[in-house]
Amino acid sequence: MTQKITIAIDGFSSTGKSTIAKQLAKELGYIYVDTGAMYRAVTLYAMQQNYISDSHFNPNDLIADLHNVSLSFIFNKSLGFAEMILNNINVEKAIRTIEVSRLVSKIATISEVRKKLVSEQQEMGKNKGIVMDGRDIGTVVFPDAELKLFMTASADKRATRRYKELLDRGDKVNYEEILHNVQERDRIDSTREDSPLVIAKDAIEFDNSDMGLKEQFERIISLVNRNFK
Ligand code: DC
């Protein structure tokens, strides 16, 4: 590859964005950044400080304390991807629980949180050669990204995938609860005031309800090779 580009991957939750993004980054020798992990880490912090729970939410307390939230990634060679570090502690596993999934969309509505994370994401991508996935990458973080993908799939397909993932991890899970979480996050992510999940005008939409990973990957990599080699 002669020129390094920026690849933005947005879309609904559990559409397999991160799996595709990781594979693409590996194939191209690019950095991969999972921005959902950053919103999840802030959510975990807010839960630990008791700023949010299922029964209460104090955004102003979190906003006043945001300067104490330090986020970074550390590459784990054996896993082949970067793990999320919150204030020097590896929280990669702790941010993937159903409790964090239930509360993260609320945290992601806070403009001050978004401002902090967007500026950190822009800094990480300033030299290009990056694949970043999230909800606002092609619209807000890197509106000039050379390649923008938007992933979708039916809520049922996505909930089934997530259910299997959590089962494989050994978690106790309930399909109905996961389906509800997927639908609720779609609703909050798409209707929030600041940076709602919308498809960028110049994004390519991928409905992968009935498409395997291999086929998706091959289509996307051939797109990259055709246009940017
Ligand atoms: O990709 P994920 O499911 O791990 O993301 C968790 C939540 O974070 C998602 O419900 C919305 C929010 N998010 C966001 O608002 N903007 C991003 N760029 C990434 C995630």
Cα gap 76→180, rounded to integer Å? 32
Interior angle at CA 31, CA 30 and CA 36, nearest 5: 135
> What pLDDT does 60 receive?
98
User: Which residue owns the Cα nearest ligand 1 atom 1?
Assistant: 36
Name the residue of 39, 52, 98, 116 whose CB sits within 8 Å of the most ligand 1 atoms, as the mutation to test its pocket.
39
Contact 139, 10 (CB under 8 A): yes
> What pLDDT does 44 receive?
98
User: Which residue owns the Cα nearest ligand 1 atom 6?
Assistant: 36
185 ligand 1 Cβ < 6 A? yes
Cα gap 53→123, rounded to integer Å? 31
> What pLDDT does 215 receive?
92
CA 137 to chain centre: 9
114 ligand 1 Cβ < 6 A? no
> What pLDDT does 229 receive?
73
> What pLDDT does 6 receive?
97
> What pLDDT does 166 receive?
86
Amino acid present at 104: V
Name which of 205, 165, 202, 200 is nearest 182 in CA terms. 165
- Ligand 1 centroid to residue 160 C-alpha, Å: 19
Per-residue pLDDT of the chain (229 residues; tens, 9 = 90+): 568 999 999 999 889 899 999 999 999 999 999 999 999 999 999 999 999 999 999 999 999 999 999 999 999 989 888 999 999 999 999 999 989 999 999 999 999 999 999 999 999 999 999 999 999 999 999 999 999 999 999 999 999 998 998 898 888 889 999 999 999 999 999 999 999 999 999 999 999 998 888 999 999 999 998 888 7
Distance of CA 153 to CAs 54, 97, 189, Å? 28, 22, 16
> What pLDDT does 45 receive?
98
The CATH-assigned architecture of domain 6-228 is 3-Layer(aba) Sandwich (3.40)
Q: What residues does each domain of the chain span?
A: 6-228
